[in-house]
């Protein structure tokens, strides 16, 4: 600013007598001084003046402004000297090197990609300030709102400078409080579980979703809308989302103002057809929406999907389903009529895929249920976009359409941005039954860009060692058919049991959906297992005989059929899963048996979805064929199935042996009842409480040593409480149990720690 004032004074100073405003100048020559890199012709072109031109003081000031506005000069002075106009310039220096100081959270090479200034280019103070703003913005995206970036120059010889960005990164700006205004149906705690943004808590050094990111707020708004709409609140609105920065710039108070409205339910459901070949009654049977149930758009989407799928099978093209909704405010219901109409005759001209550097086009293309030349279905394109995002291979994935070469043609474009899909894990493990151990894992979910899953895991514990390999091809033979090959090798030493085991198996399998909610998996298992180091004196005679069988081979064909009502999204208030699986062994191997396992799981959320109730019923039977005898490694044991007892802690036991060896059982049944609920602690801590009741039994032996072992059905039960904690290493579950019905020889376990599983 001082330089500009000085030059302006020089330009506007009168030469001769009279007022400055009336002074004018005429010159015959222009003398340009101080330029080193920039040609005189270039300077004259920026000045915009001609020889012999008469200029007033104001016009000379305009010349000055044009030269300074070119961004080429650090300073400019203009002075008329008789018939000569002297223009003295000082060029901006050239940038020698660009460096960053103080950056730890963002690498220097990443910062260099952000800025516009470049080495061996002319230095511009305004561009340096703009670059500092870009770097500051990069830190803001990471939640460091207090970051400060100051550009400085170090002058060198030959009119060169070093450009240095001094960075003070500051602390992560966290969401200190996340609250809601206007919510009545659901508590703040429940709504916080919906949002992508989280409050800062005990694990603030590990959790990054508690940092403030402005772009995440819009996502949170949409998630709130989806959550309420899926629960029948069709008038729900997010009125405002206010982020208040604390004075120290190290924390935000984020408040969502909402208007819930009333909850609506489905009223009358009907189907009409405007297409002669589409029978309304036949298609209406596919709707499957119960009148009086809570309104959710997902039920409508599923009904439309089933109707359109039937239309394709019947060869009815361009059928579109128009859900016509009639609102009844008096009884708060929505009548829905599914109208079958003829859609526009538009075809898919081609499908373009961009942004995939590693992932093959075919991996993305097979997520589309349509191909070039098929009738265009907007709903199917939206679902294809969801399937692409669900792959987990991409940071972003968008599917758009545009006009094709003709009015009846559409071009579909899938734009993706890839992200890393492999991981290498080194860590430690702990289990209350297996003790401590080391874990090494290698996995890749998009192997060679083919969408294949590959993993290798090594687990070494104090009493066991396990190695496993898994490979999955999700689109075997180019169809909706998954192929998996698994291999496992495991050794265990005496821990709760009084013998060692060695097991190895390979298991190829294929799986495919058989319906909207059903799936069938077919498998083959080739295995060999062995029991050894059984004490011939202190162990059960039954185990001694089983050890004498040596390594036993088994060859089994099996299947698993499942029915699962769980759906993705925010509507999982009630869920049911049924599963039945069997293995038939005896294909040229040592053992012949049928192993069957059945399970049923039901879950619901009550009390404004604050409390989760879950019931599980599971049972299994091992039936040996051709007079064979099962071994303890073949039989069931209740580890992980029933709490309150040690692994091998209940079931048939040889009390005559010194070791009182557990023997397992050919049959088991267990019922587990769980409740999970908040403890009143801040939600950001990720700590919840639980209570459980387990009831079950393990029984049945082929060899009771002449009746010396009691293998009858005897019911056991246990109650307990749990502490569930979501941590960066996974959801941990601490169980504190007490058996309330047990046999005198059972081994109880009052505490166990495990990785919590999600239903």
For the chain, what percent of residues have pLDDT higher than 70?
90
Is it the case that residue 2 has pLDDT exceeding 50? no
Q: How far is CA 54 from the centre of its chain?
A: 71
Whether 592 and 712 map to the same domain: the answer is yes
Assess contact for 452 and 474: CB atoms under 8 A: yes
Assess contact for 639 and 647: CB atoms under 8 A: yes
Q: How far is CA 660 from the centre of its chain?
A: 48
Backbone angles phi, psi at 24, to 5 degrees: -135, 160
Whether 694 and 622 map to the same domain: the answer is yes
Q: Give the residue numbers spanning the domain of 193.
A: 174-259
Indicate the residue among 393, 418, 443 that finishes a domain: 418
Assess contact for 291 and 314: CB atoms under 8 A: no
Asked if residue 379 belongs to a domain, the reply is yes
Whether 108 and 248 map to the same domain: the answer is no
Q: How far is CA 221 from the centre of its chain?
A: 18
172-198 confidence digits (pLDDT tens): 777 878 899 999 999 888 898 888 887
Asked if residue 286 belongs to a domain, the reply is yes
CA triplet 252, 258, 259: central angle to 5 degrees? 170
What integer pLDDT is reported at residue 698 of this predicted model?
A: 97
Residue 562 — pLDDT band, cuts 50, 70, 90? Answer: very high
β 251-259/174-181 pair status: parallel
Whether 68 and 133 map to the same domain: the answer is no
> Residues, the chain, total?
759
Whether 403 and 390 map to the same domain: the answer is yes
What integer pLDDT is reported at residue 22 of this predicted model?
A: 47
> Which SS3 state, helix, strand or coil, does residue 717 take?
strand
201-253 confidence digits (pLDDT tens): 655 444 444 666 777 888 899 999 999 999 999 999 999 998 887 766 667 88
Asked if residue 510 belongs to a domain, the reply is no
d(Cα 226, Cα 527) in Å, to the nearest integer? 48
For the chain, give me the number of helices (H) and strands (E)? 12, 33
Is it the case that residue 502 has pLDDT exceeding 70? yes
For the chain, what percent of residues have pLDDT higher than 90?
56
d(Cα 490, Cα 437) in Å, to the nearest integer? 14
Backbone angles phi, psi at 439, to 5 degrees: -130, 130
Backbone angles phi, psi at 8, to 5 degrees: -60, -40
d(Cα 755, Cα 201) in Å, to the nearest integer? 21
**What average pLDDT does the segment 569-593 reach?**
85
The dihedral built from the CA positions of residue 316, 317, 322 and 323, taken in this order, carries a sign that is: positive
Is it the case that residue 104 has pLDDT exceeding 50? yes
Q: What is the DSSP letter of 106?
A: S
Is it the case that residue 265 has pLDDT exceeding 50? yes
Burial environment of residue 36 by CB neighbours within 10 A (0 to 12, 13 to 18, 19 or more): exposed
Q: Please give the structure tokens belonging to residue 683.
A: 């939600």
Strand partners, 251: 174
What integer pLDDT is reported at residue 516 of this predicted model?
A: 79
Ranking 245-259, 311-325, 612-626, 667-681 by mean pLDDT, the lowest is 245-259
629-668 confidence digits (pLDDT tens): 999 999 999 988 999 999 889 999 999 999 999 999 999 9
Q: Please give the structure tokens belonging to residue 295.
A: 């309104």
DSSP string, 548-587: TT-SEEEEEEEEEEEEE---SSS-TTEEEEEEEEEEEE-S
Ranking 41-55, 528-542, 690-704 by mean pLDDT, the lowest is 41-55
What integer pLDDT is reported at residue 206 of this predicted model?
A: 46
Strand partners, 427: 439
What integer pLDDT is reported at residue 669 of this predicted model?
A: 98
Assess contact for 349 and 409: CB atoms under 8 A: yes
Number of independent structural domains in the chain: 6
Whether 82 and 211 map to the same domain: the answer is no
Strand partners, 721: 691, 736
Whether 31 and 155 map to the same domain: the answer is no
Strands (E), 357-499: 394-403, 409-418, 422-431, 435-447, 452-461, 464-473, 482-492
Give the strands of the sheet with 333-342, arranged side by side.
265-273, 333-342, 319-328
Q: Please give the structure tokens belonging to residue 400.
A: 């758009």
What integer pLDDT is reported at residue 665 of this predicted model?
A: 97
Assess contact for 236 and 225: CB atoms under 8 A: yes
Q: Please give the structure tokens belonging to residue 671.
A: 């019922």
d(Cα 103, Cα 113) in Å, to the nearest integer? 14
d(Cα 81, Cα 85) in Å, to the nearest integer? 6
What integer pLDDT is reported at residue 588 of this predicted model?
A: 82
d(Cα 295, Cα 650) in Å, to the nearest integer? 47
Q: Radius of gyration of the chain from Cα atoms? A: 37
Which value, to the nearest 10 degrees, does the dihedral of the CA atoms of residues 295, 300, 301, 303 take? Answer: 140
Burial environment of residue 198 by CB neighbours within 10 A (0 to 12, 13 to 18, 19 or more): buried
Question: What are the C-alpha distances in Å from 742 to residues 736, 746, 750?
Answer: 17, 6, 13
Asked if residue 187 belongs to a domain, the reply is yes
Whether 750 and 626 map to the same domain: the answer is yes
Assess contact for 611 and 676: CB atoms under 8 A: yes
What integer pLDDT is reported at residue 202 of this predicted model?
A: 55
Whether 229 and 274 map to the same domain: the answer is no
CA contacts within 13 A on the Cβ side of 181 = 10
Is it the case that residue 16 has pLDDT exceeding 50? no
Backbone angles phi, psi at 159, to 5 degrees: 55, 50
Question: What are the C-alpha distances in Å from 481 to residues 291, 369, 520?
Answer: 36, 14, 10
Asked if residue 656 belongs to a domain, the reply is yes
**What average pLDDT does the segment 246-274 reach?**
88
Assess contact for 652 and 709: CB atoms under 8 A: yes
Give the strands of the sheet with 251-259, arranged side by side.
174-181, 251-259, 237-245
**What average pLDDT does the segment 395-415 reach?**
92
Is it the case that residue 542 has pLDDT exceeding 90? yes
697-742 confidence digits (pLDDT tens): 999 999 999 999 999 999 999 999 999 988 766 688 999 999 999 9
Strands (E), 37-83: 54-56, 73-81
Question: What are the C-alpha distances in Å from 131 to residues 91, 115, 120, 234, 635?
Answer: 21, 5, 16, 46, 68
Ranking 268-277, 407-416, 572-581 by mean pLDDT, the lowest is 572-581
Ranking 10-14, 148-152, 332-336, 584-588 by mean pLDDT, the lowest is 10-14
Asked if residue 552 belongs to a domain, the reply is no
d(Cα 49, Cα 45) in Å, to the nearest integer? 8
CA contacts within 13 A on the Cβ side of 398 = 5
CATH number at residue 730: 2.40.160.50
Q: What is the C-alpha end-to-end distance of the chain, expressed in Å?
A: 67
HEC profile of 697-726: EEECCCCCCCCCCCCCCCCEEEEEEEEEEE
Q: What is the DSSP letter of 211?
A: B
β 574-585/593-606 pair status: antiparallel
Is it the case that residue 41 has pLDDT exceeding 90? no
CATH number at residue 61: 3.10.20.310
413-430 confidence digits (pLDDT tens): 999 999 999 888 776 655
Whether 592 and 663 map to the same domain: the answer is yes
CA contacts within 13 A on the Cβ side of 672 = 21
Backbone angles phi, psi at 266, to 5 degrees: -70, 135
Is it the case that residue 619 has pLDDT exceeding 90? yes
What integer pLDDT is reported at residue 285 of this predicted model?
A: 93
Q: Residue 68's closest CA among 101, 91, 94?
A: 91
Whether 215 and 280 map to the same domain: the answer is no
Mean pLDDT of the chain: 87
Indicate the residue among 140, 168, 196 that finishes a domain: 168
Asked if residue 79 belongs to a domain, the reply is yes
User: Which residue is associated with the tokens 């219901």?
Assistant: 333
**What average pLDDT does the segment 122-151 reach?**
87
CA triplet 150, 151, 156: central angle to 5 degrees? 145
Residue 610 belongs to what H/E stretch? none
Indicate the residue among 259, 284, 312 that finishes a domain: 259
Whether 207 and 303 map to the same domain: the answer is no
Asked if residue 498 belongs to a domain, the reply is no
CA triplet 675, 679, 682: central angle to 5 degrees? 135
The dihedral built from the CA positions of residue 112, 114, 115 and 121, taken in this order, carries a sign that is: positive
């Amino acid at each position: 600013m001082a330089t500009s004032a000085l030059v302006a004074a020089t330009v506007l100073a009168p030469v001769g007598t009279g007022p400055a405003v009336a002074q004018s100048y005429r010159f015959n020559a222009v003398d340009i001084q101080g330029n080193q890199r920039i040609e005189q012709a270039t300077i004259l072109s920026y000045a915009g003046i001609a020889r012999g031109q008469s200029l007033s003081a104001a016009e000379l000031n305009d010349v000055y402004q044009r030269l300074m506005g070119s961004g080429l000069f650090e300073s400019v002075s203009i002075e008329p000297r008789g018939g000569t106009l002297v223009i003295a310039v000082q060029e901006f220096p050239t940038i020698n090197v660009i460096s960053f100081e103080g950056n730890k959270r963002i690498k220097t090479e990443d910062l260099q990609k952000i800025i516009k200034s470049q080495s061996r280019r002319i230095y511009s103070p305004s561009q340096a300030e703009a670059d500092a703003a870009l770097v500051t913005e990069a830190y803001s995206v990471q939640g460091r709102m207090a970051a400060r970036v100051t550009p400085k120059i170090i002058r060198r010889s030959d009119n060169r400078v070093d450009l240095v960005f001094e960075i003070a990164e500051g602390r992560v700006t966290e969401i200190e409080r996340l609250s809601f205004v206007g919510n009545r149906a659901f508590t703040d705690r429940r709504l916080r579980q919906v949002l992508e943004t989280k409050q800062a808590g005990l694990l603030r050094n590990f959790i990054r979703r508690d940092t403030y990111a402005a772009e995440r707020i819009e996502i949170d708004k949409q998630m709130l809308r989806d959550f309420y709409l899926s629960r029948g609140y069709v008038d729900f609105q997010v009125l405002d989302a206010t982020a208040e920065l604390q004075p120290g710039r190290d924390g935000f108070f984020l408040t969502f103002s909402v208007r819930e409205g009333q909850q609506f339910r489905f009223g009358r459901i009907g189907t009409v057809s405007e297409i002669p070949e589409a029978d309304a009654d036949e298609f209406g049977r596919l709707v499957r929406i119960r009148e009086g149930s809570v309104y959710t758009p997902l039920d409508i989407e599923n009904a439309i999907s089933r109707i359109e799928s039937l239309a394709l099978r019947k060869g009815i093209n361009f059928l579109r389903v128009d859900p016509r909704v009639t609102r009844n405010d008096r009884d708060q219901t929505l009548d829905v009529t599914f109208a079958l109409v003829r859609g526009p005759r538009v075809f898919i001209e081609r499908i373009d895929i961009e942004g995939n550097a590693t992932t093959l086009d075919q991996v993305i293309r097979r997520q589309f249920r349509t191909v070039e030349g098929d009738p265009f279905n907007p709903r199917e394109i939206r679902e294809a976009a969801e399937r692409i995002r669900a792959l987990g291979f991409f940071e972003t994935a968008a599917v758009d359409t545009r006009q094709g070469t003709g009015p009846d043609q559409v071009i579909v474009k899938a734009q993706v941005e890839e992200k890393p899909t492999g991981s290498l894990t080194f860590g430690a493990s702990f289990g209350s039954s297996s003790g401590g151990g080391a874990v090494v894992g290698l996995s890749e979910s998009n192997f060679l860009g083919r969408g294949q899953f590959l993993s290798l895991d090594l687990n070494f514990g104090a009493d066991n060692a396990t190695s496993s390999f898994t490979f999955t091809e999700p689109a075997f033979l180019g169809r909706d058919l998954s192929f998996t090959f698994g291999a496992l090798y495991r050794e265990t030493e005496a821990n709760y049991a009084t013998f060692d085991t060695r097991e190895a198996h390979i298991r190829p399998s294929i799986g495919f959906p058989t319906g909207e909610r059903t799936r069938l998996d077919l498998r083959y298992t080739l295995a060999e297992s062995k029991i050894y180091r059984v004490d011939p004196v202190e162990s059960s005679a039954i185990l001694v005989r089983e050890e004498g069988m040596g390594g036993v081979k088994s060859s089994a064909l099996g299947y698993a059929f499942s029915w699962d009502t769980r759906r993705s999204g925010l509507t999982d208030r009630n869920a049911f899963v049924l599963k039945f699986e069997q293995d038939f062994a005896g294909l040229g191997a040592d053992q012949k048996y049928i192993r069957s396992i059945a399970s049923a799981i039901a879950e619901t959320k009550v009390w404004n979805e604050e409390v989760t109730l879950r019931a599980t019923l599971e049972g299994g039977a091992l039936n040996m064929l051709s007079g064979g005898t099962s071994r303890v490694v073949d039989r069931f044991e209740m580890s992980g199935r029933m709490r309150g007892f040690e692994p091998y802690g209940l079931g048939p036991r040889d009390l005559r042996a010194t070791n009182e060896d557990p023997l397992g059982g050919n049959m088991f049944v267990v019922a587990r009842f769980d409740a999970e609920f908040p403890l009143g602690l801040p939600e950001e801590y990720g700590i919840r409480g639980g209570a459980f009741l387990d009831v079950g039994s393990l029984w049945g032996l082929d060899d009771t040593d002449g009746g010396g072992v009691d293998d009858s059905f005897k019911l056991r039960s246990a109650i307990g409480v749990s502490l569930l904690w979501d941590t960066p290493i996974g959801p941990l579950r601490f169980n504190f149990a007490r058996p309330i019905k047990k046999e005198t020889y059972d081994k109880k376990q009052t505490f166990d720690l495990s990785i919590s599983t999600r239903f």
